[in-house]
Every structure is written in structure tokens, then in C-alpha cells.
Amino acid sequence: MKKIIVLFSLLLHVCGYAQTPLITNVPNRTTISLNGKWQYIVDPYETGFYNYRWKERNENDREAYWNSEVPENKTDRKEHGYTNKNVLNVPGDWNLQDPKFLYYEGTVWYKKSFDFKNVAADKKVFLHFGAVNYKADVYLNGKKLGAHKGGFTPFNFEVPPNLLKEKGNFLIVKVDNKRYADEIPTLNTDWWNYGGITRDVQLVLLPSAFMRDYSVQLSKSSVLAKEKKIEGWVKFSNGVNENLLLEIPELKFKKEIMVNGDSAAFSFTVPALALWSPKLPKLYQVILTSKNDKIKDKIGFRTIEVQGDKILLNGSPVFFRGICIHEEIPNPGRRASSNADALQLLKQVKELNANMVRLAHYPHNENMIRMADSLGILVWSEIPVYWTIDFDNAEVLRKAKQQLNEMITRDRNRASIIVWSVGNETPLTDARTKFMSELVQTAKQMDGSRLVSAALETHTENGVITVDDPLGQYTDIVSVNEYLGWYGGLPNDCRNAQWKIKYDKPLFISETGAEALGGFHGDSLTRWSEEYQQWFYREQVEMMKRMPSGFSGLSPWILNDFRSPRRNNPLYQQGWNNKGLFDHNGKKKKAFYVLKAYYDEMEKKMP
């Protein structure tokens, strides 16, 4: 057995990327939390990973930071060490936990020591991370489990047999949040690059043959029928030959599904099903029971589709009263990480009377999606294909597809998500359109039950706002960002603006907004004042009321002020993008009330 573990570890150390297929619905599995205080070493030169010849250290190198720092004897030289004097909270970004991390980008090594009660021989143990920004190299008891790239999506590793001990385990994660031109996102963004283990870390305990993934959805074909058709599938970790029991207790429904292999598809009808919607966010408990495994989930049943230039929710037209959100708590300026954080942000959305959020510009924490499910808030979920990534690079496309896959896999059973977005404000080139259209196709192949879009840019000439981005032919809705009156002209230019749209598809304004420093006041012409932002929103709202047929909603930029090192006006920004409707301290700006009044009006017109 020891030889197997050594060979397994050496293989992982060489290849470096060995995460196992993603396990879904981790919150409802048997888990052991590894959250809490983790010791750390700051390593900007990556001394713990590379030797002085800049070669990756071998697994048994005692100077490698994934190995124990305890000297074997008094002559043993050790130049690294983990101590309780240096600890970071997990989950959480490192930037606000110590002043030295405020703008730090680089490598930090995390260490967590823990004991573990051995499980039965027929059980498997996985190590699951909600997210680590950006690259994570993961070592358990000195053995490399693998690595992962992508700062906003989950990943997991199967722990080799007998690697865990009852006492004295140590988990070490090398976290590197440096930005590169060939990564997703790339070098240039308009938000702060928070580093660290930003989401939950857990050991997941599972039977040898377990249900890895599943989908349970309402069929679009039956949305208007009296009896509703439910369809889906289940995937096992390995092949089985048995009956799977699917139950919806509230409906007194049970169905046996024969599984012969590692997966099975199913469909069935149920009577008297209440459809999930913002007005009635009904969730049903769904239970899947196999011979050795049992999982529970709360699932809402609804449909979202396009008919001509209209978006239909459960067969009826819907208007998206939206708002964009970053995964950030403004005061003191940190990554949102907890259920309380998610509730704080979504309560602000409810105050605005919005029914939809665009989660910008990356997949947010799973607890945000589950909270949206329970509160009845529609969700646009996006991968960080942002601005000017390397569209000619096949490896970059692979990384984008991986993040898209991880986002959809984690959240495909969440009723709140109605749009998968494959990117934001990407420049118009043939290479870019080919790259992005492949992502659209990938999303549709993985999940045909939702809409797929991307936030496009417009161009304005002589008062005409033209929407003719060639990517629009591939997306289900045409989503555009426009800032008439902020990045060009003045807000009253909206009065004579005309819209020219190439595609006969629903039109969605995925961004619009203006900056205002909370508490700074002047007349409406005073840039950066709350009054200027208020004027901007008044003119935008009046333009929205004159929009052409097919206008299906908007998600202005943005709910809260957020940190961005691009924003360096010494009086009005100081490292913050202040387009929020709430300021740094959670106080509503004047523009908030303009948008809320419009949303109140639209709710009455289209309940």
C-alpha cells in the first residue's frame, strides 16, 4: 500500500493538475470543516517552491514549504516555519487581515493542522475547496494532491487511502494570486484582485460508489400543462447496477430509476406543482437514495426561454429589474464569504425592489446562489472572460471552458439562475468572436434549460446607439453595456438618443451607471456629486421608457461601491469605483431612489 501511495503522489507531483471531477451539493453531504485559523508564510520569491536555480523542489526536499518545518535535530538547518504569530482566517481574503497585504499580489503558503478519525475501508475522502484565488497547489502530509487554476470556482481532490492519520495531519496550500496575460481573468480588470482561500474548505466523506452529480429540471414543454414533466439525470462515481429512488415528499411522489452503469436519465410527470418565481420562490425537497448513498436538495421548478423578442419565465413575459453586484462587502472592503454576507447584499437588492442580479464578473459563492433561490431573486452568473484576454490562445480557451464547466456543474440545480454569461466587454475581432461563440456553444451543450449571453459593448455616432456585435447572433439575448452621460457626453444626451439593434432578440442593458462619492453634494452638473449621479439615472430612466420593442430589463452598475486600483482620483475615488447606489458605509445615494421608483412602476406594469 505504501508503494501505491508513493507512486500516486509522484505522479501528481509531476503532472500537477489532478483534481477529480467535481462533487456537487457539498453543503448537503457529510463533511468535516477545515475553516478557521490557518498559519501562513508570505513568500514573494517563491522560495518554498523553487530552489535557487529556479527549479521546482523535489517532493522530499526538506526546504520545500509543503514539508514539516520542525528540525530533526539541533544541527538541522530550517529556513522556514509556520507559527501562530502569523494566522489568517479561512474563508477570507488576505488583503484586509493584515496591513502588509493591502495590495499584495504573490504567493502565500497556508497551513492547517488537524486530527482525523479514520473512516471505514469502504468510504472515500475528498478534499473540497469552494474557491482559492488564483492558483492553488495542495499538499497533504507532504504529498501533493494536485493543483487548480481559477479564482472563483470549486475543485476537489480524492485523498489517497491511508494518507490521513488519526493525529497530526497537516494540509498546506500554496496560494498565488499574481495576474498573467494568459489567464482568466487577464492582467487588466476593474476590480481588486483579492488573494487567499476565499471560500470554505472541507473534507467530504462518501461511500465508494456515490452520486457525484445530478440534474432535476422542469421540462419547457410542459410549463403550461396541468401535469408537469420533470426530467434529469444522475451520475455515479463508478458503475453500479441497482435501482435509485427519487422522492419529492411534499408531493407524495416516489419513482424508482434503474441504473446500469455510471449514469442514468429519467423523466416523469407530477400533478399540482407550484412553479418557482420571484413572487413565489417555492422550493421542494428532492431526495435521491441509492444502495450506498443518499443526498437531499431543495430545488425550485421553473422555465426560462426566449420567444421572439420576449423573455418568458414560466411561459409569461418577464421584465428584469436588475442590479449588478460584486462579491464584496464595502466596509471595510473585503471578499464576501459567509451566508450573512450573502444575506446583507441580497437584502439591499430587495430594498431596491429588484427581482434580478447580475453577479459580476465571476461566479460568486454558492451560498449567494442558494440564498437567491430562497429569496426569489433571478441570477445572471458569469465567468471572468473580461476585456482583452488572449483570444488566439487555445490554452486560454481551455481555461475559460474549465471555469464555465465548474460554474455550471456547481449550480445547474439552482432555480434562481436564468442566464449563463460567457464574458464582459470583449473587443470585436474574428478571433474573439470564434472564442466566445465556442463558449456559448459549450454552455448550451452543458445546460439547455437556461439562456446564454455576454455583456457586449455598443458604439454611438450622431446620437444613434448601435448594437451590431457579431457575437449577438449566437447568444439568446442581446446584452449591452452603455454609459451615455458618463463616459461620453452629458446625461441629457439620452433625450435624443436612438437605438439601432441588428438582432430580433430580447434587449437587456447589462450595465449603465455613473460615479458619485457618497456624501459629496453639488448641483447636477458637478461631476462626482450625488446630484450628478441622480441626474444620470433620471435621464437613463426616461430613455428606458422610450426603448424599442424587445427591451426586457436592465442591471445598472452597481449595488455597492467597490475597491479598484484603476480608480485614482485623489479626491473622489482613492482606489474605489464609486458607481454604487450604496456608498462605502451602506448609505443610500440619491440615485437609489430614482431607480427604485422606476422599478416600483415597472412591477405594477408587469407583475
For residue 138, the tally of other CB atoms under 10 A from its CB is 27
**How many Å apart are CA 103 and CA 448, to the nearest integer?**
41
User: For the ranges 42-46, 75-79, 203-207, 334-338, which has the lowest average pLDDT?
Assistant: 75-79
Which tens digits make up the pLDDT trace of 372-404? Answer: 999 999 999 999 999 999 999 999 999 999 999
- In this prediction the pTM is 0.95
d(CA 50, CA 58): 9
pLDDT digits (tens, 9 = 90+) for 513-554: 999 999 999 999 999 999 999 999 999 999 999 999 999 999
Inform me whether the pLDDT recorded for 6 exceeds 60: no
pLDDT at 4: 35
DSSP-assigned states of every residue in 339-386: HHHHHHHHHHHHHTT-SEEEE-SS---HHHHHHHHHHT-EEEEE---B
CB of 590 closer than 8 Å to CB of 534? yes
pLDDT above 90 (res 140)? yes
For residue range 445-494, list pLDDT tens digits in order.
999 999 999 999 888 888 899 999 999 999 999 999 999 999 999 999 99
Q: Please, which residues have CB within 8 angstroms of residue 41's CB and are 6 or more apart in sequence?
A: 48, 65, 80, 81, 82, 86, 108, 109, 111
**C-alpha cell recorded at residue 270:** 407530477
Q: Is the pLDDT of residue 8 over 50?
A: no
Surface-to-core class of residue 405, CB atoms within 10 Å of its CB (0-12 exposed, 13-18 middle, 19+ buried): middle
Mean pLDDT, the chain, integer: 94
Domains and CATH numbers, the chain: 2-207 (2.60.120.260), 211-301 (2.60.40.10), 306-605 (3.20.20.80)
Q: At a CB cut-off of 8 Å and minimum separation 6, what does 436 contact?
A: 385, 422, 423, 426, 454, 471, 474
Using an 8 Å Cβ cutoff, are 354 and 586 in contact?
no
**Residue whose cell numbers read 452568473:** 381
Span 299-317, average pLDDT: 97
Note whether 428 and 470 are within 8 A (CB).
yes
Does the pLDDT at position 574 exceed 80?
yes
Concatenated DSSP letters for 505-517? S-EEEEE----B-
Q: What is residue 607's predicted lDDT score, i.e. its pLDDT?
A: 65
Long-range contacts of 393-400 (CB under 8 A, 24+ apart): 393/182, 395/182, 396/182, 396/183, 396/184, 397/435, 397/438, 397/439, 399/149, 399/150, 399/183, 399/184, 400/184, 400/435, 400/439
List Cα–Cα distances, 220 to 78, 225, 276, 303, 485, in angstroms: 63, 10, 13, 6, 41
